[in-house]
Amino acid sequence: MKNILITMALFATVFSLSAQSDNDRMQHKELKKEFYESLSEDQKAKLNSQKQLHKDHKSAMRTTFNEEQLAIVSDESLSKRERRKALIPTMSDEQRKMKKDHRAMMKAKKEDFKTTLSKEQLEKYESFKKKKGERTRTHKRKHKN
């Protein structure tokens, strides 16, 4: 009887945490959608330009990968984080420079985009970016244990 109660309590806790996680994800998605809808066409174009630059960089990096690196990125048994962790030590100096340059360019683009935001838009932007960081840190802690 005691084992059944413990099992039920454990099940209820897991179910509750799962539902809360889904709720947080939906809230984040809603915040992001609301933010995007508040943007002007020029702001949307800047944001889409950033997305395209990221895709182009990813594609350019893939063209420089050797067979070992291609095997790592196509390994479905690894999570994104594990693939990234396994890939970094195999990178050449040229690939590291490409990554560093891309990161600097994206940071500049992000800052340029943020300067176009109104006070309200900036608050929304910071809000969902902050929540994303919190979710990522929570996710890391869960998987670390």
Write the DSSP assignment of 106-121 as a string of letters.
HHHHHHHHHHTS-HHH
Cβ-Cβ contacts under 8 Å for 19 (sequence gap 6 or more): none
133, 50 Cβ separation under 8 angstroms: no
pTM of the full structure: 0.67
The CA angle 107-117-139, to the nearest 5 degrees, is: 55
Q: Which residues of the chain have pLDDT under 70?
A: 1-22, 131-145
Q: How far apart are CA 144 and CA 138, in angstroms?
A: 10
pLDDT value at residue 65:
95
pLDDT value at residue 106:
94
Q: How far apart are CA 79 and CA 141, in angstroms?
A: 16
pLDDT value at residue 131:
61
pLDDT value at residue 59:
94
Rounding to the nearest 10 degrees, give the CA dihedral for residues 26, 31, 34, 35.
Answer: -140
Domain range for residue 20?
A: 2-144
Read off the tokens for 52: 């395209």
The count of domains in the chain is 1
pLDDT value at residue 77:
94
pLDDT value at residue 145:
45
pLDDT value at residue 93:
96
